[in-house]
Amino acid sequence: MFAEVVVDVPAVKAAKPFHYGVPERLLGSVRVGSAVVVPFGGRRLVGYVVGFVEAPDVAKVKDILEVASEAAPLPEDMMALATWMTRRYLCLPAEAIAQMFPVAVRQRKASVKTQALIELAVSSEEARAFVAEVARRAPRQAEVVRALLEGKQPALAAEGFGSSSPPRPPHHPGSPPGSHRGSDFAVRTSPDAVRALIRKGIVASRRVEVLRSPFSETSWSPTRQGGRAPLRLTPDQEKAVSAICEALDSPRPKPILLHGVTASGKTEVYMRAIEAVLARARSAIVLVPEIALTPQLAGTFHERFGRAVALLHSRLSVGERYDEWRRAERGDARIVLGARSAVFAPVESLGLVVVDEEHENSYKQEESPRYHAREVACERARAAGCPCVLGSATPSVESFYRARMGEYDYVPLTTRVEMRPLPAVEIVDMREELTQGNRSIFSRALSRAIRERLARREQAILFLNRRGHSTFVLCRECGHALRCPECDVALTYHAEEGRMRCHYCSHEETVPETCPKCGSTYIRYFGAGTEKIEREVMRLFPQARVVRMDLDTTRTKRAHENIVNRFRSGEYDILVGTQMVAKGHDFPGVTLVGVVSADTCLNLPDYKAGERTFQLLTQVAGRAGRGATPGQVIVQTYAPDHYAVQRARDHDYLGFYEEEARARRDLLYPPFVHLVLVVASGEDADGVERYARSLGASLRVAARSPDPCRPGPAPGGPATAAPADVRVLGPSPCAMRRVKRLYRWQVLLKGSPVESVTGVVRRGLAACPAPPRGIMVQVDVDPESVL
C-alpha cells in the first residue's frame, strides 16, 4: 500500500495528492489523517495522509520519513470538515487540513516537555531510619528524604535533572498519568545529594511530562477552581437554557441565534448549557472574537468548571498551545475556550459549539484558507448532530436574516440581569460644537461628564477606533502628506516612539524636519488616535489615572489581561482604547462611555460600514451601567442623522436591521446574495491590470456557461443545466490599490446559492491562463470587506 499525501505547500500545482511509500517501521503509525514528514523537491515538508492506493502513479516512489508528532491522526469527521472547507472556500486541501493541527505540528516543533521526578525507593520506615542515621553527616540527603516523606518534591538545580521548577506530585486532579504542571517548592537541594541517594538505593528518578499551562495566577487560582456558584437565572435566561437543552437531545438541531442585549447574562446561559453537555458525557467548544476577552472568560469558566477547560489562541507559546491541544485530544479537557482556530479543537463527542459575539469580523481569517469560524462552527455542529449557539447583542445581518427565514432558531434575551436599565445615549453634533467655538477633541458634554465621574470616583471608558497619535502628517506650505512608500496610505504618527508608521506593512520613518517636496519647515500633525486621546485626557484632567488599551500597548504576553484586571480592580479611572474595549468586558465601576468619534468607519466605501458603526456603538455603550449605578453614553459625531447612529442611540436593533436589509436587497448584497472577491496582485502594475482583465473575461464566460446547481428542462429533451445567476463586476483597482509593494485589482462576483458563485470562480480560473510569474490570485468567499 502507498500513502496519498497532500503536501503543505501554497501552490495550486501541489494541490493534488502525491504517492509515498510507508516504511515498515511506520506501518502501525501512518493512517488517513496522519501528519507526516516527506521529502519534496529537495526539502523535508509536512504533509497529510488523505488515502492509500495499491499502485503508485510514478515509477520511483520516495518513502515517508517520519510521523510529524505523537498526536493521533485526524478522525473521519475532521477530514470531512476539511473537505467541506476546500469546496466552500476554494482553498487547497493541505491548507484546510493544516488548520486541524496545532502550529507545533505544522512547524515540526512538536515536543513534550519533561522534568525529573524523584521518588522514594524504600519503605517509609526505612526512609525514616535513614534520615535519623545521616542527619548529622549528610544533612542535604536527609532533607531530600524528609521532603519526600512529607509528600513534597525537592526543587533541583537544572544540571543533571532538568528544569529548576520541578513538577507537582503525581496526584493532580484532571491530569493524565505521568503528566504534571510546574509548581513552586519549599525544599531546594543540589543534584549531588540526589545522585548520592540514587547510588544508595534510597530514591529513584524518572522523567515525567510537564504540561505547559497558559493560566497565570492573575486569571486563575487552583484554590478557586470549580467553586463558583451558579447565578440565579432571569426568566429570559431560563427560557434560553431550556431551548438549548432541548436542542441537545434533538437528532438534527438547527443553529440557535441567542440575541441578548448587553449585560443580559449570555455567559451564564452558555455555562448552564455546558453543564448539561457535560452531564451527557459530551464536550463543548466556546469561541470568542478577541484574544483580549479570553483571559476574562477563562477565569469565569475555570471558577465554574476547574481544569476541564483548555485554552487555545495565538498569543500562547507554541508549547502551551500544543499541550492544551493534547489535553483536549486526550479528553482531559472537555471544554475548549479560544479564538477563531479553537473551532478545530480535537474534542471527542462534541455536544455544543458556542460562538460568542458572532457578528465580529475577526472570525474571518485574512489569509488562506479564508474561512469564517461562524460558518465552520455551524458545519461542524451539523455533522456532529449538536446545536451551535450564536450569541450577540448585535447579530450580523446575515444571521438575523437566517433566523427570520427559519434556518436558525431564535432565542431573545430582552432585559439586563437584575433588571438594570440600558444606558441613556446622548448624541453630540460636533458641527454645532465647532460653531460654538469648541475646537477641542472633547465636546462640552463629554468633558463635563468626565469631570463628574472623577468627582464621584466612578470609572469611564473613552473609545476611538483608531490607534496612534495623529492620523497623518502634512506640510502646511504645499499640502504634501507623508505617505508610505510601499502602500497607498498616509503614515500615522506615534508620539511615544517619535516615528511615523504604516499600519498595513509596518514601514517606519522619523518625522522630517523639512518637507521632502518643497523644503518647508511647516510640518504639522492632523487627526487623532488613542495615543492623542490619552495625552489630552492627562492634560485636561491631571488628577485622573489613565490607561490605554490598543494594539500598541498589548503586544506582550498577558498585556491584555493585566490592563483589564487593573482597570477592573479600580487602579485606573479612565480606560482609553480601540475596539478592544468595546465588547465582552464586564466593568461594574464604569458609568460613562464616551465615543470620541462615531465616524471612523461610517463613510468607508464598504457595504458593511453602517452595520459596523451600529455594532460598535451598541457594544461600547453596553460597557456602561453594568453595576449598581446607571450608565451614560455620549456619542460625538458629524453625522448625527445617520440611521446607524440614530438606532444605536435608541437601542433599536430591529429598526436598524429593517433599514439596512432594505438597502442591501435593493443593491444585491448579503444576505440576499453571496459575494466572492477575486484579487490579482503583484509588483508590476501594468502586468497585474492585464491579467485582471483577462481573468474578468474568463469569469464572465464561466458565468454564462451551464451551472450544475441550476437544472432546467430543455425544450423537447432531457433536463439540462441553466446558466448561473451570477453577476461579474470589474475588474477594477482595489480601494487600497497598493499594499506592501503589491498593486491590486479585483473582480467581484454576486449570486446565489454560494455553490453557483464558487462554481463560476472555479471554472473561470481553470479557463484563464496561469498568472505570469510574480502575480498572485487570491479568492475570498463571503468577504467581510470589499475594500
**Which of 168, 165, 196 minimizes the C-alpha distance to 181?**
168
In this structure, what DSSP letter does residue 257 have?
E
Q: What CA–CA distance (Å, rounded) separates 777 from 761?
A: 12
User: In this predicted structure, what is the pLDDT of residue 165?
Assistant: 36
Q: How many angstroms separate the Cα of 2 from the Cα of each of 75, 359, 407?
A: 20, 45, 43
User: In this predicted structure, what is the pLDDT of residue 216?
Assistant: 54
Q: What CA–CA distance (Å, rounded) separates 764 from 768?
A: 6
User: In this predicted structure, what is the pLDDT of residue 558?
Assistant: 78
Rg of the chain over all Cα atoms, to the nearest angstrom: 30
Grid cell 488523505 in the structure block, residue: 50
**CB environment 283-302: b (16+ within 10 A), e (fewer):** bbbbbbbbbbbbbbbbbbbb
SS3 277: helix
Grid cell 437543552 in the structure block, residue: 245
Give the Cα-Cα-Cα angle 269, 273, 275 (nearest 5 degrees).
120
Q: What is the greatest pairwise CA distance in the chain?
A: 107
Measured from the Cβ of residue 584, the count of other Cβ atoms closer than 10 Å reads: 23
Q: How many angstroms separate the Cα of 373 from the Cα of each of 69, 243, 282, 646?
A: 26, 23, 21, 31
Q: What CA–CA distance (Å, rounded) separates 384 from 251?
A: 10
Q: What CA–CA distance (Å, rounded) separates 765 from 682?
A: 17
User: In this predicted structure, what is the pLDDT of residue 724?
Assistant: 67
Residue type at position 723? P
pTM comes to 0.87
Please list the alpha-helical segments (H only) found in 49-204.
76-89, 93-98, 103-106, 124-134, 139-149, 191-200
| Burial label, 41 (beta-carbon count in 10 A; 0-12, 13-18, 19+) | exposed
Q: What CA–CA distance (Å, rounded) separates 445 from 427?
A: 10
Mean pLDDT by 10 residues, the chain (787 residues): 91 86 92 94 92 90 89 91 96 94 80 78 91 90 86 51 37 38 47 87 82 60 48 92 96 96 92 96 94 77 89 83 88 93 94 96 93 98 97 97 97 89 93 93 95 95 92 91 92 91 92 90 91 94 94 84 89 92 84 93 89 93 87 94 95 96 95 96 96 96 80 52 80 94 96 94 93 94 91
Q: How many angstroms separate the Cα of 751 from the Cα of each of 87, 91, 115, 664, 712?
A: 17, 20, 58, 13, 17
Please, which residues have CB within 8 angstroms of residue 191's CB and are 6 or more apart in sequence?
156, 157, 159, 160, 161
Is the CB of residue 537 less than 8 Å from the CB of residue 574? yes
User: In this predicted structure, what is the pLDDT of residue 161?
Assistant: 46
Instruction: Give the strand order in the sheet containing 674-682.
Output: 726-739, 742-751, 674-682, 776-781
Is the CB of residue 646 less than 8 Å from the CB of residue 602? no
- Nine cell digits for residue 722: 441553466
**pLDDT tens by residue, 611-651:** 999 999 999 988 888 888 899 999 999 999 999 999 999 99
**Which of 51, 73, 44, 42 minimizes the C-alpha distance to 2?**
51
Please, which residues have CB within 8 angstroms of residue 86's CB and are 6 or more apart in sequence?
92, 93, 96, 369
- Nine cell digits for residue 67: 510521523
CA 584 to chain centre: 14
Is the CB of residue 511 less than 8 Å from the CB of residue 473? yes
User: In this predicted structure, what is the pLDDT of residue 189?
Assistant: 67
Grid cell 498519568 in the structure block, residue: 177
Is the CB of residue 394 less than 8 Å from the CB of residue 359? yes
Q: What CA–CA distance (Å, rounded) separates 233 from 417?
A: 8
Is the CB of residue 616 less than 8 Å from the CB of residue 582? yes
Q: What CA–CA distance (Å, rounded) separates 14 from 3?
A: 16
In sign, the C-alpha dihedral spanning 63, 69, 71, 74 is negative
Q: What CA–CA distance (Å, rounded) separates 379 from 383?
A: 6
